[in-house]
Amino acid sequence: MKMTFRWFGEGNDLIPLEHVKQIPGVEGIVWALHDIPAGEEWPLDRIMEVKELANQHGFHIDVVESVNVHEDIKLGLPTRDRYIANYKRTIEKLAQAGVKVICYNFMPVFDWTRTDLFKELEDGSTALFFENAKIKDLEPMELVKEIAGNSTLTMPGWEPDRLQSLSRLFEQYKGVTEEDLWANLQFFLEEIIPVAEENNIKMAIHPDDPPFSVFGLPRIIINKENIQRFLKLVDRPANGLTLCSGSLGANPTNNVAEMIREFADRIHFAHIRNVNTYENGDFIETSHRSSDGTVDILGIMKAYHEIGFTGYARPDHGRHIWGEKCRPGYGLYDRGLGIMYLWGIWDLLERTKKEEALCYQSMKI
Catalytic site positions: 206, 244, 271, 316-317, 330
Q: Nearest 10 degrees: CA dihedral of 237, 295, 157, 174?
A: 90
The one-letter code for the residue type at 248 is L
For the residues of 210-274, what is the DSSP string, one character each?
Answer: SSS-STT------SHHHHHHHHHHT-STTEEEEEEHHHHHTSTT--HHHHHHHHGGGEEEEEE--
Q: Does 335 bind ligand CS2 (CB under 6 A)?
A: no
Sole window of 105-113, 183-191, 260-268, 346-354 interacting with ligand CS2 (rule: CB under 6 A): 105-113
Residue 105 interacting partner from Mn ion, ligand CS2, none (CB closer than 5 to 8 Å by kind): ligand CS2
Q: How many residues does the chain have?
A: 365
**Does 244 sit near ligand CS2 (CB under 6 A)?**
yes
x-or-dash pattern for ligand CS2, window 160-199, by CB under 6 A?
----------------------------------------
Burial of 210 (0-12, 13-18, 19+ CB in 10 A): buried
Instruction: Find the binder of ligand CS2 among 42, 104, 304, 346 (CB under 6 A).
Output: 104
Helical segments of 281-331, H only: 297-306
Query: Do the Cβ atoms of 85 and 65 come closer than 8 Å?
Result: no
> Is there binding between residue 316 and Mn ion (CB under 5 A)?
yes
Tell me which residue of 29, 107, 97, 96 sits closest to 68, measured CA to CA: 107
Among 271, 305, 314, 319, binds Mn ion (CB under 5 A): 271
Q: Does 293 bind ligand CS2 (CB under 6 A)?
A: no
For ligand CS2 (CB under 6 A), the number of binding residues is 15
Is residue 316 involved in binding ligand CS2 (CB under 6 A)? yes
Q: Yes or no: say if 71 and 38 are a contact pair by the CB < 8 Å rule.
A: yes
59 binds, among ligand CS2, Mn ion, none (CB under 5 to 8 A by kind): none
Question: Residues interacting with ligand CS2, by CB under 6 A?
Answer: 65-66, 103-105, 111-112, 156-157, 206, 209, 244, 247, 271, 316
